[in-house]
Structure 1
Amino acid sequence: FYVNYKAGGRDKKLIATTMAPTDARRMLPTWDEPAFRASFKLTVDVPGNFKAYSTTPIEQREDLPGGMQRISFGNTPKMPSYLVVLVAGELERISARQDGVDIGIVTTEGKLGSATFPLAATRDLLRYFNHYFAIPYPLPKLDQIAIPGGFNGAMENWGAVVYNEPTLLYDPKKSPERVKKFTFNINAHEVAHQWFGNLVTMAWWDNLWLNEGFASWMAAKATHHFHPEWRPYLDAMAEREYVMNLDARKTTHPIQTPIKTEEQAAAAFDAITYMKGQAFLRMLEAYLGEDSFRKGMRAYMAKHQYSNTTSADLWAALEKASGKPVEKLASDWTLQPGFPLIRVEQACEEGRRKATLSQEQYRLDEPASEKRLWHVPLQVGTVNGKAWTTLLSGPSVTINQGGCDGALVVDPHSVGYFRVQYDPASFRALAEQAPRLPDSTRLKLLSDTWSFASNGRMGLDGYLDLVRKYGNEPRVAVWEAILSNLRTLDSLARGEPEQALIRRFLIDFARPRFDRLGWDEKPGETADDAQLRGMLATALARAGDPQ
């Protein structure tokens, strides 16, 4: 495709490609399916003032009559046709080297000032993934190319990733911290693809999640490694909430779903593939242990590099590395739609806690007609205390603890892809400690309670009573969840008497926190506080707060 844009007050044009899933056949005759890997050699004639980029470095350039030039690139490794890439235009590049690889950030004219951060980020990410996978990045160069429009997001073409400008570039003079965070995460996702998707590719589009779910999971992992202050796992929880709301309806589909047509392949790039895939992998890693998971991943990558795989290949590698029943567990989560509700009932008998955990399929719209069960890895413990892992393989399991001290909590680190509903006494005990719970526990309790209020499993007053305990909440991700839910209630009550009550609740709840923040930025305040100020001001204005 081509992009028209302006630079220096003049009209410009560039060309670029994005082939996934089935557009390479429109450019060249090829077996345009992921399993048919081939080596490609591109030659292109372009205007003399253009620069061109592809998977490999330029091998030869010659001048042609009429102000044209012919550029030939080196042979690519064997790779799927959807990764074939060509970008050409009046472009600029800054570069650096990392682990022997030439890394470049490519932009249109006058934008290299916004390329410094992504260049440094790419160097860090390449080094991190080289170590994690224990397989060095296999190409001599990696270009990150920002183009002004033409498509949304980014495409992980091997050696020449193409981005829509706002997903890569960061201007430290104009852009807030949240833009820096956003671009780093997208960058991490695309660099992770250089291994997961490019070096090892799914055999067919029904295993697309092996590309996208893993890249999303690795992006959060890398972001947490380099920028724990951004709390990427809280953001991932917000994405998980979004996809769980989709996945709890009869219109959902499994992570791995049959693909027979081009249209179905394109439609597979959805929230279930990306976000549920990512959430399941985080739950699986927590169950297997980080070291065992990484060991299995390294063995999988080493065995299947420059080739194609299915989910079964990955499960075999992880099962061998961990000694746990990965295939049995994983097939439940990837081949079945939906997810379970975990019910928790406990009692203290003779000084010992007896907790019964049971599962059923969770739905928001109507009861499920199927009686699905999952192998559910569960972490069970007490607030700020020790947690242990158990595998719920049937309808229910009963656990005995040595004592009854401390509030019981299931999934304390919020790595599970399921809802947790406590018996009333257990819920009250946990809710009373809400302000003192760890960030992830606090957000999960709030999110599950909202979901139960949404489908009638709990009264709305129960959710609002819980929200009142979050008045001093420090985390933007938690505030985003609360304000989003209150905004939903406001929309549902439009034109009804209850709308005024909802708005009064929001003002009474949010105004004290805003007053503590104040209208003006303070020296040394956190990025969370700076972002929260704008969020609260907007919410209060929408609610009609006269101040």
Structure 2
Amino acid sequence: MSENPKDTQSNPYKLPSHTRPIRYSILLEPDLVDLRFNGTETIEIQVDKDCSEVKLNSVALDILTASITSGGKELAASVHFDPEMEIVTLRTDGTIQTGEALVKVDFSGELWAGLAGFYHSVYTDADGNKETIATTQFEATDARRAFPCFDEPELKAIFSISIRSNEDLMVVSNYPEKSSTRTGDGKKLTVFEDTMVMSSYLVAFVIGNLEASETSMSGTTPIRVITPNGKGHLGSYAHLVADHSIKFFTEWFGIAYPAPKMDLLAIPDFAAGAMENLGAITFREADLLIDPESASMDEQIRVTEVICHEIAHMWFGDLVTMKWWNGIWLNEAFATYMSFAAVDAFRPDWRVWERFGIMSLMAQEIDSLATTRPIEYPVIAPSDADGMFDLLTYEKGGSILRMLEQYLGLERFRAGIRLYLQKHAYANAETTDLWDALEEASGEPVRLIMDTWVFQGGHPTVSLETTAGGFRISQQPFRYLSRPEDLKGAIGDNWQIPVGIRTNDGTTAKVLLSDESLGLSETAGVPVINADGSGFYRSHYDQASSSAILSGLRELSTLERLKFVSDSVALWQSETLPLANLVEVLRALGDERDPTVLAAGQSALSMLNRIATPAERPLVATLASSIFSKVLDGFGMSSDIGDSAQDRAARAIALDVLGTIANDVEVRDYCFEAFRMDMAGDVGLEPDQAGSILHVVSTHGDETEFAFILDRYRHPSSPQDEMRFLYALTGFSQAGLASRLCSMALGEVRTQDAPYAIARALANRSISEVVYRFIETNFTEIKSRFPENSLPRMLSSLGSFYADENYRLAPEVRKFVGDNPLKSGSKTVDQAMEKLEVGLRVRGSYAGRLAESLK
């Protein structure tokens, strides 16, 4: 359904197809004082027709000398840059003959601070010494910042990496060290074994004063965790997860782990969460290093899921790689799906597939906007690929794969995945290759089904209505802004929907809703039309059916309850369901004890609280109290030895809602007392309650609490502790404290973290205008300091400017966004502006009139 420009030579960003790499020999020498590096490389290439030039990708590199050897003759090459296309042409006066040739280039570059390419990162060790390391982040197209190369995923090659460095520094790359030789000048030359054939974006090298754990083994694969000095004790948990992941994926895929070793490296400054470099996976510290004893369940799940996600890529992404960047969604979506499968096997008591349901809802929120996009779309310029690293790629992509797995059954689904990997190992593939393998294994029309989910944006509502002979289900596109005059945008028209239907006798049937409607035979009671909650669609029951479902809500599975509640909220936002009906659903949550379902209720109450006028907020508080006081009464405030992980998480949500939205005095006093005892060093915060307690304290606190939290941020015991206290600083309501936080964001807060702290502060309605004015005044500096991929996420909080404190700023916000376009990620900002319109519309419909539905 989508023609990609990669299939032609009309794409000016693509390199010519008649030359391709076979093997790179790369020598790099970084200078960690002057923050520069020198390099030399020889690329063995295959030339398919006589020519006089070779084109490579290169950005911000100085090419010092270049030559091409062909037919035994070395030809000097002149150097011609095209900065817009990020291509350097090496042109000779002679003929580069068909066959193999050698390209030799000497070059130099800057170890810049941009957290992409070959860059530098700084940390302070336990003794207060500042240490600089050199590290890499190449996905999607930043290998060209480290060495001239054929920087396209289909142009796989072998990489032979050598690093000259100070002899006291650790040097790590994708494959094991082959030799390390002192060169007599305080330097050493580290040579690594040749890699398997792989894409350039998967190459990695890290040089610095680092600490390596003892090696553990997963079968025959050695595992190390490498950290900044003084943090090695936080790496033990990663060994356990990595061992589990290698064994789990080896069995699941039926293929051995494809690299000879696995290093997991914690990088102090890292723009992404992690990066799947073959054999040398890099992480931001908070996504790798953890003390399980002091971490919450959510924090443990996060670290476990990220490690599993990256290790899944060793097969799906590294062993088999997309042909062009339009296919990057499948790499990430499949790794997302597989990471949850691996975590579920690691800790079944976490019930992570239910947590996955929350992530799916986050994707649906974006996918309900006219400014959504298809999961897969044409990629021409490298920057086009940057827009794929979002909720629609990871969460929607992973959700539709989960929906397909549930429809086909796990065994048929896994058989298709194994077939796909076997067919394309050490090579490249396209999305359709996976669908074809799944069709071959299952006999089902997988391509027909999945094309409707991949190549058009949006998702449907499946509606159930009672008929004379039973029931009828039908589909319609779902949109938040659904009035006749509203733009449809990228939202599609019709989907092939795998619908799970469960009747009262417990029987579940899978049907493919391919037309506008489908009749169902009469059953005893109302059927559930998203059985097990795995369908990526909204469910809308007619009034009588909805009442029947609500009366038996506790009989549904957790994911079915989650979907029913969240779908009710979405239908209200789209002006399909009256608020009184939604309130009836929310009141039923007083009997709920599962954290995922309670989180959906918490989100709905937060939106009601945001649209309410100051005079109406006590009504929202009363509603929140009527629901969550019952929840907290069921658990008690303090943890009990018999609590499950779910109990602890549910209690934390109840404390948060009661202490902030409901303004419950008893809960507030409990949180402040726990905070004071922790600050005094008497009793630490319970890990699963810590985030909620800090939120309550910051909501009601002042300069005194801010000072204590700031000190804890500056002296954390773990990366999770550091982020926990940083985000707590964003919750205060005083303008002066907001200004202090903003100043910190341009100073002591790491550039990888600052944009997300600003985003949280921007979403805090009490200080939102102060933070907005800070962004407005300092946007030039912000753009120069913060990672480019973080800017859209920072600005996405502008979509929350529909509260009484900030809705009047909406025209200014729209103008600011229009006057300050971003280089990449503009779609995310567009979506934030549409979310703002959704919020303003809901506010316009209900603000000042909430009493009619809430009393």
Whether TM exceeds 0.5 here: the answer is: yes
1:327 aligns with 2:447: yes
Counterpart in 2 of 1:251? 371
**Aligned in 2, Cα 1:165/1:391: closer, same or farther, shift over 3 Å?**
same
Partner of 1:169: 289
Aligned to 1:358: 474
Q: Is 1:148 the counterpart of 2:264 in the alignment? A: no
- Structure 1 letter corresponding to 2:136: T
Match of 1:532 among 650, 654, 660: 650
* 1:91 lines up with 2:195 in the alignment: no
Q: Deviation of residue 152 (structure 1)?
A: 3.3
Query: How many residues are paired up?
Result: 540
1:501-529 per-residue CA deviation (whole Å, 9 max, x = no partner) reads 11111112112322333332222322233
Matched, 1:398 2:516: no
- Counterpart of 1:380 in structure 2 is 501
Q: Which amino acid aligns with 1:82?
A: Y
| Structure 1 position 278, deviation (Å) | 0.3
CA contact (8 A) 1:434 1:470 kept: no
Q: Aligned with 2:590: secondary structure?
A: coil
2:228 and 2:375 map into 1 onto residues whose CA distance is 38
Measured against aligned partners, the alpha-carbon deviations of 1:395-421 in whole angstroms (never above 9, x if no partner) come to: 1111215xx324310111011011110
Q: Is the 8 A contact 1:435 1:470 kept in 2?
A: no
Q: Bigger shift: 463-472 or 135-144? A: 463-472
> What 5-or-longer segments of structure 1 have no aligned partner?
none
Larger Rg: 2
Q: What is the aligned partner in structure 1 of residue 629 from structure 2?
A: 511
Aligned counterparts, 1:254-333, within 5 A: 254-333=374-453
Please tell me whether the aligned partners of residues 384 and 437 of structure 1 are also in contact (alpha carbons under 8 angstroms).
no
Q: Is 313-322 or 233-242 further displaced after alignment?
A: 233-242
Work out the CA distance in 2 between the residues paired with 1:271 and 1:178: 19
2: CA distance, partners of 1:480 / 1:52: 44
Could you tell me how far 1:197 is from its partner in structure 2? 0.6
TM-score after normalising by structure 2: 0.62
Contact in 1 for aligned 2:462/2:538 (Cα 8 Å): yes
Residue 51 of structure 1: how far off its partner (Å): 1.1
Deviation at 1:146, TM superposition (A): 1.1
The percentage of counterpart residues that share the same residue type is 32
Query: Contact conserved, 1:200 with 1:307, CA < 8 A, in 2?
Result: yes
Q: Is 1:241 matched with 2:349?
A: no
CA distance in 2, matches of 1:406, 1:522: 39
1:371 offset after TM fit, Å? 6.9
Question: Is 1:426 matched with 2:545?
Answer: yes
Quick one: distance in 2 between partners of 1:212 and 1:317? 19
Which residue of 223, 228, 235 corresponds with 1:108?
Answer: 228
Aligned to 1:75: 194
Cross-structure match for 2:5: none
Query: 3-state SS of the aligned residue for 1:65?
Result: coil
Aligned-residue offset at 1:379? 1.1
Partner of 1:188: 308
Q: How many angstroms apart in 2 are the aligned matches of 1:314 and 1:532?
A: 39
Deviation, structure 1 residue 384: 6.7
Partner of 1:389: 510
**Does the residue aligned with 1:206 lie in a helix, a strand or coil?**
helix
- Residue 600 of structure 2 aligns with which residue? 481
CA–CA separation in structure 2 for the residues paired with 1:541 and 1:180: 25
* Per-residue CA distance 1:160-179 (angstroms, 9 max, x = gap): 00001110112134223322
- d(CA) in 2 for partners of 1:248 and 1:67? 60
Deviates most, 147-156 or 361-370: 361-370
Distance 1:457 1:123 in 2: 49
Q: Does 1:409 align with 2:524?
A: no
Q: Give the direction of change, closer, same or farther, for the CA distance of 1:383–1:279 in structure 2 (3 Å limit).
A: farther
Q: CA deviation at 1:8?
A: 2.4
Quote the Cα distance in structure 1 between the aligned partners of 2:618 and 2:126. Answer: 52
Q: Determine if contact 1:355/1:399 at 8 Å carries over to the other structure.
A: yes
Q: Which amino acid aligns with 1:458?
A: L
The separation in 2 between residues aligned to 1:172 and 1:268, in whole angstroms, is: 32
Q: How far does the alpha carbon of each residue in 1:158-201 deviate from its partner, in whole angstroms, 9 at most, with x for none?
A: 11000011101121342233222211011110000001110000
Aligned partner of 1:287: which letter? Y
- In the alignment, which residue of structure 2 is the partner of 1:3? 121
Amino acid at match of 2:540: Q
One-letter amino acid matched to 1:469: A
3-state DSSP of counterpart to 2:534: coil
Contact 1:217 1:279 (8 Å CA) reproduced: yes
Letter in 2 for 1:14: I
Are the counterparts in 1 of residues 590 and 626 from structure 2 also a CA contact under 8 Å?
Answer: no
| Residue 54 in structure 1 maps to residue 186 in structure 2 | no
Q: 1:378 is paired with a residue of what secondary structure?
A: strand
Shift of 1:348: 6.2
Deviation at 1:39, TM superposition (A): 0.8
Within 5 Å, give how 1:106-145 maps onto structure 2. Answer: 106-145=226-265
Give the aligned residue type for 2:626. Answer: D
**Alpha-carbon deviation of 1:311?**
0.8
Paired residue type of 1:40: F
Verify the 8 A CA contact 2:456 2:492 in the aligned structure 1.
Answer: no
CA distance, structure 2, for counterparts of residue 366 and residue 513 of structure 1: 35
- SS at the partner of 2:475? strand
How well do the aligned residues superpose, as a CA RMSD in angstroms?
Answer: 1.5
**Aligned pair in 2 of structure 1 residues 212, 383: CA closer, same or farther (>3 Å)?**
farther
Per-residue deviation, 1:63: 0.7
Tell whether 2:333 aligns with 1:210.
no
Relative to structure 2, which stretch is displaced further, 368-377 or 82-91? 368-377
Contact preservation (8 Å) 1:343, 1:357 = yes
- Residue 557 of structure 2 corresponds to residue 438 of structure 1: yes
Q: Residue type of the partner of 2:518?
A: V
Q: Secondary structure at the match of 2:163?
A: strand
Partners of 1:459 and 1:149 lie apart in 2 by 47
The 2-side partners of 1:391 and 1:414 are apart by 16
**2:454 is equivalent to residue 340 of structure 1:** no
Contact 1:383 1:412 in 2 (8 A): no
Does residue 22 (structure 1) correspond to residue 138 (structure 2)? The answer is no
The amino acid that maps onto 1:396 is S
Deviates more, 1:271-280 or 1:525-534: 525-534
Query: Does the aligned pair in 2 maintain the 1:41–1:76 contact within 8 Å?
Result: yes
Match of 1:225 in 2: 345
Q: Deviations over 1:214-266 (max 9, x none)?
A: 00000111111221211111211111111111111110110101111121111
In 2, are the aligned partners of 1:130 and 1:136 still within 8 Å (CA)? yes
- The residue number in structure 2 matching 1:447 is 566
CA–CA distance in structure 1, aligned partners of residues 361 and 290 of structure 2: 28
Task: Decide which moves more: 231-240 or 153-162.
Answer: 231-240
1:129-151 residue CA offsets vs partner (Å, 9 max, x unmatched): 00111110121101111122232
Q: How many Å separate the matches in 1 of 2:586 and 2:503?
A: 22
Instruction: Give the C-alpha shift of residue 363 in structure 1.
Output: 0.8
Q: CA deviation at 1:71?
A: 0.5
1:383, distance to aligned residue in structure 2 (A): 4.6
C-alpha spacing 1:49/1:384, structure 2 compared with 1 (3 Å): farther
Structure 2: tracts of 5 or more residues without a match: 1-118, 667-855
